[in-house]
Structure 1
Amino acid sequence: MAKVTNNELIELLGARFGDKITAVNEPYGLLTFSTTKDVIIDVLAFLKESEVANMNFLTDITAVHYPETKHLAVVYHLHSMVKQIRIRVKVFIQEQNPTIPTASGLWNSANWMERETYDFFGVKFEGHPNLKRILNMDELNVHPMLKQYPLEDPNRVDKKDEYFGR
Protein backbone atom coordinates (compact mmCIF):
# COMPACT_ATOMS: atom_id res chain seq x y z
CA MET A 1 0.00 0.00 0.00
CA ALA A 2 1.26 3.42 -0.93
CA LYS A 3 1.48 6.18 1.61
CA VAL A 4 -0.95 9.07 1.40
CA THR A 5 -0.02 12.74 1.84
CA ASN A 6 -1.76 15.48 3.77
CA ASN A 7 -2.53 17.29 0.49
CA GLU A 8 -4.21 14.20 -0.95
CA LEU A 9 -6.39 13.87 2.17
CA ILE A 10 -7.41 17.54 2.06
CA GLU A 11 -8.32 17.26 -1.62
CA LEU A 12 -10.33 14.12 -0.89
CA LEU A 13 -12.16 15.74 2.04
CA GLY A 14 -12.72 18.98 0.14
CA ALA A 15 -14.27 17.12 -2.78
CA ARG A 16 -16.61 15.21 -0.47
CA PHE A 17 -17.50 17.80 2.21
CA GLY A 18 -16.65 21.17 0.64
CA ASP A 19 -16.93 24.13 2.99
CA LYS A 20 -17.66 21.88 6.00
CA ILE A 21 -13.86 21.37 6.24
CA THR A 22 -12.25 24.51 7.67
CA ALA A 23 -9.15 25.76 9.51
CA VAL A 24 -6.80 23.39 7.69
CA ASN A 25 -3.20 23.51 8.89
CA GLU A 26 -0.25 21.23 9.55
CA PRO A 27 1.42 21.91 12.90
CA TYR A 28 4.59 19.78 13.01
CA GLY A 29 3.36 17.92 9.92
CA LEU A 30 0.15 16.69 11.59
CA LEU A 31 -2.83 17.42 9.35
CA THR A 32 -5.39 19.28 11.46
CA PHE A 33 -8.78 20.60 10.40
CA SER A 34 -12.13 21.59 11.86
CA THR A 35 -15.62 20.56 10.90
CA THR A 36 -19.12 20.90 12.34
CA LYS A 37 -20.99 18.58 14.66
CA ASP A 38 -23.73 17.93 12.10
CA VAL A 39 -21.26 16.16 9.76
CA ILE A 40 -18.61 14.85 12.17
CA ILE A 41 -19.82 11.24 12.04
CA ASP A 42 -19.96 11.38 8.23
CA VAL A 43 -16.41 12.77 8.13
CA LEU A 44 -15.10 10.14 10.55
CA ALA A 45 -16.87 7.32 8.69
CA PHE A 46 -15.52 8.59 5.37
CA LEU A 47 -11.96 8.71 6.75
CA LYS A 48 -12.31 5.21 8.18
CA GLU A 49 -13.90 3.57 5.13
CA SER A 50 -12.09 5.43 2.33
CA GLU A 51 -9.48 3.34 0.50
CA VAL A 52 -7.28 6.43 0.21
CA ALA A 53 -7.39 7.47 3.89
CA ASN A 54 -8.02 4.11 5.62
CA MET A 55 -8.04 5.66 9.12
CA ASN A 56 -8.45 2.33 10.86
CA PHE A 57 -7.37 3.34 14.36
CA LEU A 58 -8.95 5.88 16.71
CA THR A 59 -6.07 7.05 18.87
CA ASP A 60 -7.92 9.45 21.15
CA ILE A 61 -10.98 11.57 21.76
CA THR A 62 -10.62 14.48 24.13
CA ALA A 63 -11.74 18.08 24.53
CA VAL A 64 -10.23 21.51 25.08
CA HIS A 65 -12.08 24.27 26.93
CA TYR A 66 -11.80 27.85 25.60
CA PRO A 67 -13.50 29.91 28.33
CA GLU A 68 -12.82 33.24 26.62
CA THR A 69 -14.98 32.22 23.64
CA LYS A 70 -17.35 29.96 25.65
CA HIS A 71 -16.59 26.99 23.39
CA LEU A 72 -15.33 23.46 23.80
CA ALA A 73 -13.36 21.74 21.06
CA VAL A 74 -13.91 18.00 20.81
CA VAL A 75 -10.70 16.62 19.31
CA TYR A 76 -10.35 13.30 17.48
CA HIS A 77 -6.93 11.80 16.68
CA LEU A 78 -7.00 9.19 13.91
CA HIS A 79 -4.22 6.98 12.61
CA SER A 80 -3.90 4.92 9.45
CA MET A 81 -1.45 2.17 10.21
CA VAL A 82 -1.64 1.00 6.61
CA LYS A 83 -1.05 4.42 5.02
CA GLN A 84 1.24 5.57 7.86
CA ILE A 85 -0.42 8.91 8.49
CA ARG A 86 -2.13 10.62 11.42
CA ILE A 87 -4.70 13.42 11.49
CA ARG A 88 -6.48 15.59 14.04
CA VAL A 89 -10.12 16.60 13.63
CA LYS A 90 -11.68 19.35 15.76
CA VAL A 91 -15.32 20.22 16.32
CA PHE A 92 -16.17 23.40 18.24
CA ILE A 93 -19.36 23.26 20.30
CA GLN A 94 -21.09 25.69 22.66
CA GLU A 95 -20.12 25.56 26.33
CA GLN A 96 -23.78 25.94 27.39
CA ASN A 97 -24.98 22.94 25.38
CA PRO A 98 -22.00 20.61 24.92
CA THR A 99 -23.54 17.85 22.81
CA ILE A 100 -22.13 15.96 19.84
CA PRO A 101 -23.01 12.63 18.18
CA THR A 102 -21.21 9.52 19.40
CA ALA A 103 -18.52 7.78 17.37
CA SER A 104 -18.95 4.52 19.27
CA GLY A 105 -20.75 3.03 16.28
CA LEU A 106 -17.58 3.45 14.19
CA TRP A 107 -14.96 2.38 16.73
CA ASN A 108 -15.69 0.35 19.86
CA SER A 109 -12.80 2.13 21.60
CA ALA A 110 -14.72 5.43 21.32
CA ASN A 111 -17.00 4.17 24.10
CA TRP A 112 -14.45 4.68 26.89
CA MET A 113 -12.83 7.75 25.33
CA GLU A 114 -16.20 9.49 25.14
CA ARG A 115 -17.01 8.52 28.72
CA GLU A 116 -13.71 10.02 29.87
CA THR A 117 -14.37 13.22 27.90
CA TYR A 118 -17.85 13.43 29.42
CA ASP A 119 -16.44 12.82 32.89
CA PHE A 120 -13.81 15.56 32.70
CA PHE A 121 -15.37 18.13 30.33
CA GLY A 122 -19.12 17.47 30.45
CA VAL A 123 -19.46 16.80 26.72
CA LYS A 124 -22.62 14.74 26.14
CA PHE A 125 -22.25 12.25 23.29
CA GLU A 126 -25.72 11.73 21.82
CA GLY A 127 -26.52 8.08 21.18
CA HIS A 128 -23.78 6.76 23.46
CA PRO A 129 -24.78 3.36 24.88
CA ASN A 130 -23.66 4.03 28.49
CA LEU A 131 -22.58 7.62 29.08
CA LYS A 132 -21.58 7.81 32.75
CA ARG A 133 -18.57 8.75 34.82
CA ILE A 134 -15.65 6.36 34.84
CA LEU A 135 -12.88 8.14 36.77
CA ASN A 136 -14.58 10.64 39.06
CA MET A 137 -17.19 9.99 41.73
CA ASP A 138 -20.78 9.80 40.51
CA GLU A 139 -21.84 12.44 43.03
CA LEU A 140 -19.26 14.98 41.78
CA ASN A 141 -21.30 17.91 40.47
CA VAL A 142 -18.55 19.50 38.38
CA HIS A 143 -16.38 18.56 35.43
CA PRO A 144 -12.82 19.16 36.70
CA MET A 145 -11.09 20.00 33.40
CA LEU A 146 -13.33 22.97 32.65
CA LYS A 147 -11.48 26.21 33.25
CA GLN A 148 -14.25 27.70 35.38
CA TYR A 149 -12.53 27.52 38.73
CA PRO A 150 -9.49 29.30 40.17
CA LEU A 151 -6.33 27.23 40.01
CA GLU A 152 -5.33 27.95 43.60
CA ASP A 153 -6.79 29.35 46.75
CA PRO A 154 -5.94 33.08 46.71
CA ASN A 155 -5.64 33.02 50.52
CA ARG A 156 -2.68 30.62 50.58
CA VAL A 157 0.26 32.27 52.29
CA ASP A 158 2.91 29.74 51.28
CA LYS A 159 2.78 31.00 47.68
CA LYS A 160 3.60 34.64 48.41
CA ASP A 161 6.62 36.00 46.53
CA GLU A 162 8.21 37.61 49.59
CA TYR A 163 8.81 34.15 51.07
CA PHE A 164 10.97 33.29 48.07
CA GLY A 165 13.02 36.52 47.88
CA ARG A 166 11.11 37.90 44.92
Structure 2
Amino acid sequence: MIKIGLLSDTHAYWDEKYLQYFEDCDEIWHAGDFGSVEVADKLAAFRPLRGVYGNIDGQDIRKRFPQVNRFTVEGAEVLMKHIGGYPGNYDPSIRGSLLVHPPKLFISGHSHILKVKYDKTLGMLHINPGAAGMSGFHKVRTLVRFVIDNGEFKDLEVVELAG
Protein backbone atom coordinates (compact mmCIF):
# COMPACT_ATOMS: atom_id res chain seq x y z
CA MET A 1 0.00 0.00 0.00
CA ILE A 2 1.26 3.45 -0.92
CA LYS A 3 -0.22 6.89 -0.30
CA ILE A 4 0.18 9.43 -3.08
CA GLY A 5 0.02 13.22 -2.93
CA LEU A 6 -0.85 14.63 -6.36
CA LEU A 7 -0.72 18.21 -7.57
CA SER A 8 -0.27 20.17 -10.78
CA ASP A 9 0.12 23.65 -12.17
CA THR A 10 2.02 25.23 -9.29
CA HIS A 11 3.43 27.82 -11.75
CA ALA A 12 6.41 28.56 -9.46
CA TYR A 13 4.13 29.22 -6.48
CA TRP A 14 5.20 27.62 -3.21
CA ASP A 15 2.78 26.97 -0.37
CA GLU A 16 3.95 25.34 2.89
CA LYS A 17 0.53 23.65 2.97
CA TYR A 18 1.79 21.26 0.27
CA LEU A 19 4.05 19.69 2.88
CA GLN A 20 1.35 19.79 5.55
CA TYR A 21 -1.15 17.92 3.38
CA PHE A 22 1.45 15.50 2.01
CA GLU A 23 2.89 14.66 5.44
CA ASP A 24 1.33 11.17 5.44
CA CYS A 25 2.14 10.51 1.77
CA ASP A 26 4.84 8.11 0.62
CA GLU A 27 5.35 9.83 -2.75
CA ILE A 28 4.45 13.13 -4.39
CA TRP A 29 3.44 13.29 -8.04
CA HIS A 30 3.37 16.53 -10.02
CA ALA A 31 1.43 16.61 -13.31
CA GLY A 32 3.41 19.45 -14.88
CA ASP A 33 3.81 23.21 -14.97
CA PHE A 34 6.12 23.26 -11.97
CA GLY A 35 7.17 26.72 -13.08
CA SER A 36 10.48 26.61 -11.23
CA VAL A 37 13.22 24.26 -10.15
CA GLU A 38 12.76 25.52 -6.58
CA VAL A 39 9.26 24.03 -6.36
CA ALA A 40 10.53 20.69 -7.67
CA ASP A 41 13.50 20.75 -5.28
CA LYS A 42 11.36 21.48 -2.21
CA LEU A 43 8.93 18.68 -3.07
CA ALA A 44 11.75 16.22 -3.84
CA ALA A 45 13.50 17.06 -0.57
CA PHE A 46 10.32 16.19 1.33
CA ARG A 47 9.25 12.94 -0.37
CA PRO A 48 10.20 10.93 -3.47
CA LEU A 49 8.93 12.92 -6.45
CA ARG A 50 7.64 11.74 -9.82
CA GLY A 51 6.41 14.12 -12.47
CA VAL A 52 6.22 15.37 -16.02
CA TYR A 53 7.07 18.71 -17.49
CA GLY A 54 4.34 21.07 -18.62
CA ASN A 55 4.04 23.62 -21.38
CA ILE A 56 5.37 26.51 -19.24
CA ASP A 57 8.37 24.59 -17.89
CA GLY A 58 11.83 25.56 -19.07
CA GLN A 59 14.79 23.38 -19.97
CA ASP A 60 15.86 22.99 -16.33
CA ILE A 61 12.61 21.12 -15.54
CA ARG A 62 12.50 19.36 -18.93
CA LYS A 63 15.93 17.85 -18.23
CA ARG A 64 14.68 16.37 -14.95
CA PHE A 65 11.21 15.19 -15.92
CA PRO A 66 9.86 13.54 -19.09
CA GLN A 67 6.93 14.73 -21.17
CA VAL A 68 5.21 11.37 -20.63
CA ASN A 69 5.83 9.22 -17.58
CA ARG A 70 4.59 5.60 -17.54
CA PHE A 71 5.37 3.52 -14.48
CA THR A 72 3.91 0.82 -12.22
CA VAL A 73 3.25 1.28 -8.51
CA GLU A 74 1.64 -1.28 -6.21
CA GLY A 75 0.41 -3.31 -9.18
CA ALA A 76 -1.19 -0.34 -10.96
CA GLU A 77 0.18 0.99 -14.23
CA VAL A 78 0.14 4.79 -14.30
CA LEU A 79 0.50 7.15 -17.26
CA MET A 80 1.08 10.85 -16.62
CA LYS A 81 1.15 13.69 -19.16
CA HIS A 82 0.56 17.38 -18.55
CA ILE A 83 -1.69 18.03 -21.55
CA GLY A 84 -3.83 14.92 -21.75
CA GLY A 85 -7.49 15.81 -21.89
CA TYR A 86 -10.06 13.63 -20.17
CA PRO A 87 -12.42 10.71 -20.89
CA GLY A 88 -14.31 11.38 -24.08
CA ASN A 89 -11.91 14.15 -25.10
CA TYR A 90 -8.30 12.96 -24.85
CA ASP A 91 -5.61 15.15 -26.35
CA PRO A 92 -4.46 13.83 -29.77
CA SER A 93 -0.85 13.72 -28.48
CA ILE A 94 -1.70 10.89 -26.05
CA ARG A 95 -4.93 9.38 -27.42
CA GLY A 96 -3.15 6.64 -29.40
CA SER A 97 -1.15 5.44 -26.39
CA LEU A 98 -4.26 5.37 -24.23
CA LEU A 99 -6.30 3.44 -26.77
CA VAL A 100 -3.59 0.90 -27.65
CA HIS A 101 -2.35 0.27 -24.10
CA PRO A 102 -4.52 1.92 -21.45
CA PRO A 103 -3.03 2.18 -17.97
CA LYS A 104 -5.12 1.68 -14.83
CA LEU A 105 -4.62 5.37 -13.98
CA PHE A 106 -4.18 8.33 -16.32
CA ILE A 107 -3.10 11.61 -14.75
CA SER A 108 -3.08 14.97 -16.50
CA GLY A 109 -3.02 18.64 -15.55
CA HIS A 110 -3.06 21.79 -17.68
CA SER A 111 -6.78 22.66 -17.56
CA HIS A 112 -6.68 23.92 -13.94
CA ILE A 113 -9.98 22.05 -13.56
CA LEU A 114 -10.20 19.35 -10.90
CA LYS A 115 -11.66 16.23 -12.43
CA VAL A 116 -11.83 12.60 -11.30
CA LYS A 117 -13.61 10.38 -13.78
CA TYR A 118 -13.67 6.70 -14.63
CA ASP A 119 -13.40 5.83 -18.32
CA LYS A 120 -15.62 2.75 -18.66
CA THR A 121 -14.55 2.17 -22.27
CA LEU A 122 -10.86 1.89 -21.39
CA GLY A 123 -11.29 0.57 -17.84
CA MET A 124 -9.14 3.40 -16.57
CA LEU A 125 -9.38 6.03 -13.84
CA HIS A 126 -8.52 9.60 -14.86
CA ILE A 127 -7.42 12.24 -12.35
CA ASN A 128 -6.67 15.90 -12.98
CA PRO A 129 -5.81 17.45 -9.59
CA GLY A 130 -6.66 20.98 -10.73
CA ALA A 131 -4.19 23.76 -10.00
CA ALA A 132 -2.25 24.21 -6.77
CA GLY A 133 -0.64 27.51 -7.77
CA MET A 134 -1.94 31.06 -7.98
CA SER A 135 -1.59 31.70 -11.73
CA GLY A 136 -4.61 31.02 -13.89
CA PHE A 137 -8.34 31.43 -14.02
CA HIS A 138 -9.22 28.88 -11.32
CA LYS A 139 -10.97 30.19 -8.22
CA VAL A 140 -10.02 27.35 -5.88
CA ARG A 141 -6.54 25.83 -5.56
CA THR A 142 -6.66 22.05 -5.19
CA LEU A 143 -4.58 18.95 -4.70
CA VAL A 144 -5.47 15.28 -4.34
CA ARG A 145 -4.44 12.44 -2.05
CA PHE A 146 -5.18 8.76 -2.63
CA VAL A 147 -4.00 5.25 -1.84
CA ILE A 148 -2.93 2.53 -4.23
CA ASP A 149 -3.29 -0.89 -2.63
CA ASN A 150 -2.56 -3.99 -4.66
CA GLY A 151 -3.63 -2.36 -7.92
CA GLU A 152 -6.74 -0.74 -6.45
CA PHE A 153 -7.35 2.98 -5.85
CA LYS A 154 -8.82 3.90 -2.47
CA ASP A 155 -9.49 6.76 -0.10
CA LEU A 156 -9.28 9.56 -2.67
CA GLU A 157 -9.42 12.98 -1.06
CA VAL A 158 -9.66 16.41 -2.64
CA VAL A 159 -8.00 19.18 -0.65
CA GLU A 160 -9.01 22.78 -1.25
CA LEU A 161 -6.25 25.24 -0.44
CA ALA A 162 -7.29 28.65 0.88
CA GLY A 163 -6.29 31.71 -1.09
TM range (shorter): under 0.3
TM-score, normalised on structure 2?
0.26
Larger fraction in helix: 1
Which has the larger Rg?
A: 1
